[in-house]
Amino acid sequence: MSLIETIQNKYNEFSAVAGNGLLGNMRAKAFEHYNKLGIPTSKNEEWKYTRITPLTNKNFELHTTAVLPSKEVLNDIRLQAECAAELFFINGVFVKEISSFDKDALVVLSLNEAAESEYKNYVQQHLNQSSKYMKDGLHALNAAFVANGLFVLVKKNKALQKPVFIYHLTDTNNDNVFVQPRTLFVVEENAQVQLIELYKNNGLQESFTNEVIEIVVQQNARFEYYKVQDENENCHHVGTTHVQQVGKCFTHCVTITLNGGTVRNNINMILEAPNNEGHLYGLYIINGKTHVDNHSIVDNIEPNCFSNEFYKGIMDGNSTGVFNGKIFVRQDAQKTNAYQSNKNILMSDTASVNAKPQLEIFADDVKCSHGCTVGQLDEDALFYLRARGLDEKQAKAFLLHAFAADILEQVKPEALHTYLEKKIDERLNVDAL
Amino acid sequence: MSEMIATLEETALSDYKYGFVTQIEADEAPLGLNEDIIRFISAKKEEPEWMLEWRLKAFKYWQSLGNHEPQWANISYPSIDYQNIKYYSAPKQKAGPKSLDEIDPELRRTFDKLGISLNEQNRLSGIAVDAVIDSVSIGTTFKAQLAEQGIIFCSITEAIQHHPDLVKKYMGSVVPMTDNFFAALNSAVFTDGSFCYIPKGVRCPMELSTYFRINAENTGQFERTLIIADEGAYVSYLEGCTAPMRDENQLHAAVVELIALDSAEIKYSTVQNWYPGDKEGKGGIYNFVTKRGICSTNAKISWTQVETGSAITWKYPSVILKGDNSVGEFYSVAVTNNYQQADTGTKMMHVGKNTRSRIVSKGISAGKSNNSYRGLVQVGKNAHNSRNFSQCDSLLLGDKCGAHTFPYIETKNSTSIVEHEATTSKIGEDQIFYCNQRGIDTETAVALIINGFAKEVMNQLPMEFAVEAQKLLAISLEGSVG
């Protein structure tokens, strides 16, 4: 049975169990929306370079409850670092029992609970705001199955010293799985937090993740976000990170893709208040048949905002990299400074890259620029290193490491930085140095 | 400097100065489009059977598309009623003028008004002109001199009659009739245009030029241009256009095909000044044009365009770099004011080894207009060591206009280098202040800065056009600066 059919079969059953209320309404609307729009094809301009339909025609199982993995497996995926919270999604379902968090600074609930709690307002106001920007069937599909998601609130005036970890584990030991994690993350006034989302898999079957995380950042808050995909090539991923900066605040987002099958990362940064500042960074180092598509939207709505976007990619083997960056500057957003840069290196003749850096500007008193390059390692630099006794492999690894370092240095939490550096070095064979 | 001030002053007083209508009796086809109309056009042109068949084939394909124009461009306009257009309109003449003296004096006055001399005696300008009014070419100058060197420069109608082999071989080879909606429409109903063939090793001694003018009401203009530069040949070609001021929108859908064989070079410059509509956005020309060139080994094609007119511009002059070591260039200044919309750019398709391309696009938007750059740089698997550099800068004058950039970069080769950069800004207060400090008033300072902004492209234009283009820039932006 194809995934499309599974979805139709499962929806009613799932919906009946999950009940009505706030989320029930949302699900019904979203499902209607999904049926209308369907899975995006390459005819959709936003999906021109990424094909999802071969996946949705495959057989994937849709799990709505989680089977807990063994302690060893859980320990294996943890970064073993000091943290303010460790939250687990197993096959797309948030599992509170095995999660832990600092109760003083954080509120952690399942979305179902949150919709009935004193935080109901947040859910009502902000859940599924991303649908204003993401008008495709896949995004609606996630909302159509929203229930066992995660709600996190960082309380007012709390500056967390240690990061919050969200681990996503897809268990593909028994069958192909389709998972849809959903998170609403609220950072209240004057709070500070670092959020790390880590994707891991366990098993050899295929998985298809369709994730949505929505983040609301309030006045004077500071939010750092790191998304790391380190699954195997049987894991496909479509993820949307939607950052809404509702007050004057600071955000810093880094997306790192090291491996996977077909991967699509959407990141939206909505600068809704004046004087906002946002940074977006991305790094994709891919090989084999991996396909990575990074889509970003930076929407400058109010005046005096600053945004900076910097993505880098290294493509080897038969891999494909896609970059699409959109910057909107609305008519009221005078004195906006928005920058965007995308740099790609092709290491093999079978790798390819498709880039589309896009500016749409409606205000005149702005400074906007974008740049995009595709090329290879500098011959002179290679020669310089070779002349000093490094062999070709070492010299290349050395230069690639330096190329990646620009983004890597934006990863502030130490534990994650060390972890990534090790991973990247392994990939680039830097241990040869 | 003083010249610039004079230009500004002169233009500040004038609106669209080419907006007159010439009262000439016209020979027209009835409104609407069907097979009979196509047969009518073909018969009028005394075309051979194969041409008619070609047209009908294109028409069938166009019909199969339904009324579905391409939707992807960043423009909006009410749907066009293709049955409410006259597809053929010719100034009435006694059959086929044998020499320029036989051309209707009213017509000649029109072209004199436009500043285009059809008079052969006026050799000072040294440009060979083919003038197209509404649907037909009314005269080509310097034909004899060009023929001495074996250069063929005539209307496409004549070419179909006298050089069918060349036309048959190359027409539709770069822009096939199935290329897109407007190309299909053009292939079915094209009425005239220019044809040019430069033989092996010949360097065309003068600039060739075509002037297009839409005159009659309710007509669409569908011209077709075909330029072939044989091995080692060189030609520089200019194209200009104007139309009267009318309240309704008129359609212009042209196809231009350039073929540069081994080591040939074609330089194609356009100053597009169709009527842009009035200040409320009423009227104006819809300009949907398909332009493409193909380069063989060591060949070069260079597009230069200054786009100031048209209510809507939809135009992507492209180069297919098929041969090794071939070069493609695209220089563009697009200015939009009032309610104009421009979606323009280029495609550079790198197929051969060591191919190079360069894109310089400058967009200036003012009033309530929208100006988009849309470009594609494609590097194929075998395009080793290919190189592209693109730069698109936008300048915004006023806070109600928009500037958009949609560059597509698709690279499949690891030895190629592709670079793209774009900036958007307004004229800085410090820049103006710097000029004011030195005794230059604000208005002049703005003109100075805009001129500097567009200079890189203007420098690519042939001398005769550069002056006109500079004036046009100022006219288009009149009232929106300072």
B84-96 burial: b if 16+ Cβ within 10 Å, else e: ebbbbbbbebeee
**Domain assignment present for A265:** yes
Same domain, A264 and A116: yes
The residue written with tokens 């070492």 in the block is A394
Q: Does A382 touch chain B (CB under 8 A)?
A: no
Contacts of B364 in chain A (CB under 8 A): none
> Quick one: average pLDDT of A201-217?
92
- Cα A114 from Cα A119, distance rounded (Å): 6
- Structural element, H or E, at residue A214: strand A207-217
Phi, psi of B462 (to 5 degrees): -65, 150
CA distances from B150 to A10, B147, B196, B232 (A): 76, 5, 11, 14
Strands B89-91 and B26-28: antiparallel
Question: By the 8 A CB rule, do A123 and A109 touch?
Answer: no
Category of B150 on φ-ψ map: left (φ > 0), alpha (ψ -120 to 50) or beta:
left
Residue A315: pLDDT over 50? yes
Residue B122: pLDDT over 50? no
Nearest to B330 by CA among B261, B262, B407, B241: B407
For residue B298, give the 3-state DSSP assignment.
Answer: coil
Residue B99: pLDDT over 70? no
Contact state of B417 with A352 under an 8 Å Cβ cutoff: no
Residue A116: pLDDT over 50? yes
Q: What is the pLDDT of residue B128?
A: 60
Tokens of A296: 């970003």
Residue B218: pLDDT over 90? no
Nearest to B85 by CA among B241, B276, B288, B221: B221
Same domain, A81 and A207: yes
Residue B62: pLDDT over 80? yes
Question: By the 8 A CB rule, do B292 and B349 touch?
Answer: no
Tokens of A41: 């094809």
Contact state of B422 with A356 under an 8 Å Cβ cutoff: no
| ipTM of the complex in this document | 0.82
Q: What is the pLDDT of residue B10?
A: 47
For residue B3, give the 3-state DSSP assignment.
Answer: helix
- Cα B27 from Cα B290, distance rounded (Å): 27
**Domain assignment present for A220:** yes
Q: What is the pLDDT of residue A74?
A: 86
C-alpha A418, offset from chain centre: 20
Higher pLDDT among residues A63 and A29, named by residue: A29
Average pLDDT, chain A: 90
Tokens of B211: 């002037």
- Cα B275 from Cα A284, distance rounded (Å): 49
Question: By the 8 A CB rule, do A87 and A108 touch?
Answer: yes
Q: DSSP characters for A103-134? A: TTTEEEEEHHHHTTSTTHHHHHHHTTGGGGT-
- Structural element, H or E, at residue A404: helix A392-408
Contact state of B396 with A364 under an 8 Å Cβ cutoff: yes
- Cα B26 from Cα B221, distance rounded (Å): 14
Nearest to A240 by CA among A278, A197, A290: A197
DSSP conformation class of A353: E
pLDDT band at B479 (very low <50, low <70, confident <90, very high): low
Tokens of B12: 């500040």
> Which of A352, A353, A359 has its CB closest to that of B422?
A359
Q: What is the pLDDT of residue A432?
A: 46
> Which of B379, B402, B411 has its CB closest to that of A362?
B402
Among A164-178, A246-260, B272-286, the minimum mean pLDDT is found in B272-286
Average pLDDT, chain B: 81
Question: By the 8 A CB rule, do A257 and A283 touch?
Answer: yes
- Cα A73 from Cα A423, distance rounded (Å): 19
Residue A226: pLDDT over 70? yes
* Single-letter amino acid, residue B400: K
Higher pLDDT among residues B34 and B25, named by residue: B34
Contact state of B420 with A357 under an 8 Å Cβ cutoff: yes
> Which of B399, B402, B425 has its CB closest to that of A367?
B425
CA angle in degrees (0–180, nearest 5) for A271-A276-A281: 75
Single residue among A273, A302, A317 that ends a domain in this structure = A273
Question: By the 8 A CB rule, do A399 and A381 touch?
Answer: yes
Q: What is the pLDDT of residue A316?
A: 92
pLDDT band at B95 (very low <50, low <70, confident <90, very high): very low
Nearest to A87 by CA among A67, A104, A71, A102: A102
Cβ within 8 Å of residue A187, ≥6 positions away:
A154, A193, A215, A216, A217, A218, A221, A223, A249
Q: What is the pLDDT of residue A242?
A: 95
Question: By the 8 A CB rule, do A368 and A327 touch?
Answer: yes
Tokens of A223: 């939010």
Nearest to A139 by CA among A254, A248, A238: A238
Same domain, A267 and A390: no
Residue A202: pLDDT over 80? yes
- Cα A362 from Cα A367, distance rounded (Å): 12
Contacts of B361 in chain A (CB under 8 A): none
For residue B82, give the 3-state DSSP assignment.
Answer: helix
pLDDT band at A272 (very low <50, low <70, confident <90, very high): very high
Contact state of B417 with A364 under an 8 Å Cβ cutoff: no
**Domain assignment present for A300:** no
Higher pLDDT among residues A44 and B353, named by residue: B353
Q: What is the pLDDT of residue A354?
A: 93
Which residue of B411, B426, B427 is the best one to mutate when testing the A interface, meaning the one whose CB has the most A CBs within 10 A? B411
**Domain assignment present for A46:** yes
- Cα A226 from Cα A213, distance rounded (Å): 12
Residue B125: pLDDT over 70? no
Same domain, A36 and A180: yes
CA A73 to chain B, closest CA, distance in angstroms equals: 40
The residue written with tokens 């009435």 in the block is B92
**Domain assignment present for A337:** no
* Single-letter amino acid, residue A408: L
Q: Tell me the residue range of the domain where A257 lies.
A: 3-273
Q: What is the pLDDT of residue B94?
A: 45
Residue A397: pLDDT over 80? yes
Tokens of B37: 């109309």
Tokens of B203: 């360097």
Question: By the 8 A CB rule, do A213 and A238 touch?
Answer: no
- Cα B188 from Cα B167, distance rounded (Å): 15
> Which of B400, B402, B414 has its CB closest to that of A346?
B414
Single residue among A258, A273, A288 that ends a domain in this structure = A273
Nearest to A362 by CA among B253, B476, B301, B365: B365
- Structural element, H or E, at residue B64: helix B49-64
> Quick one: average pLDDT of A162-170?
93
How many CA atoms, within 13 angstroms, populate the side-chain half-sphere of residue B201?
Answer: 0
For residue A273, give the 3-state DSSP assignment.
Answer: coil
Question: By the 8 A CB rule, do A205 and A233 touch?
Answer: no
Cβ within 8 Å of residue B117, ≥6 positions away:
B111, B125, B129
**Cα distance between the two ends of chain B:** 17
Question: By the 8 A CB rule, do B453 and B427 touch?
Answer: no
Q: What is the pLDDT of residue B397?
A: 84
Phi, psi of A155 (to 5 degrees): -65, 155
Contact state of A358 with B404 under an 8 Å Cβ cutoff: yes
Contact state of A359 with B424 under an 8 Å Cβ cutoff: yes
> Which of A351, A356, A357 has its CB closest to that of B414?
A351
Which residue of A361, A379, A396 is the best one to mutate when testing the B interface, meaning the one whose CB has the most B CBs within 10 A? A361
Question: By the 8 A CB rule, do A254 and A284 touch?
Answer: no
Q: What is the pLDDT of residue B5?
A: 44
Residue B87: pLDDT over 80? yes
Residue B220: pLDDT over 90? no
Among A1-15, A79-93, A130-144, B83-97, the minimum mean pLDDT is found in B83-97
Same domain, A265 and A391: no
> Quick one: average pLDDT of B234-251?
77
Number of domains in chain A: 2
Q: What is the pLDDT of residue B113?
A: 58
> Quick one: average pLDDT of B78-106?
66
Q: What is the pLDDT of residues A359-383, one digit of tens each?
A: 888 888 888 888 899 999 989 999 9
pLDDT band at B15 (very low <50, low <70, confident <90, very high): low
Tokens of B361: 């696009």
Tokens of A165: 């970890």
Q: What is the pLDDT of residue B85?
A: 82
Cβ within 8 Å of residue B71, ≥6 positions away:
none
**Domain assignment present for A177:** yes
Q: Any idea of the CA torsion for B451, B452, B456, B462, to the nearest 10 degrees?
A: 40
Residue B240: pLDDT over 80? no
Higher pLDDT among residues B249 and B407, named by residue: B407
- Structural element, H or E, at residue A422: helix A414-428
Contacts of B416 in chain A (CB under 8 A): 374-375
Nearest to A362 by CA among B420, B451, B394: B394
- Cα B147 from Cα B151, distance rounded (Å): 5
Cβ within 8 Å of residue A278, ≥6 positions away:
A243, A245, A250, A251, A252, A253, A269, A271, A298, A305, A306, A307, A308
**Domain assignment present for A333:** no
DSSP conformation class of B192: B
Nearest to B80 by CA among B206, B185, B161: B185
CA distances from B458 to A140, B305, B345 (A): 50, 9, 17
> Which of B403, B406, B411 has its CB closest to that of A361?
B403
Contact state of A356 with B397 under an 8 Å Cβ cutoff: no
Q: What percent of chain B has pLDDT over 70?
A: 79
- Cα B159 from Cα B481, distance rounded (Å): 46
Q: What is the pLDDT of residue B8?
A: 40
CA distances from A147 to A69, A388, B161 (A): 21, 59, 74
Question: By the 8 A CB rule, do B469 and B461 touch?
Answer: yes
**Domain assignment present for A201:** yes
Single residue among A216, A245, A273 that ends a domain in this structure = A273
Q: What percent of chain A has pLDDT over 70?
A: 99
Contacts of A320 in chain B (CB under 8 A): none
B253-280 burial: b if 16+ Cβ within 10 Å, else e: bbbbbbbbbbbbbbbbbbbbbbbbbbee
Size of interface A-B (CB pairs under 8 A): 116
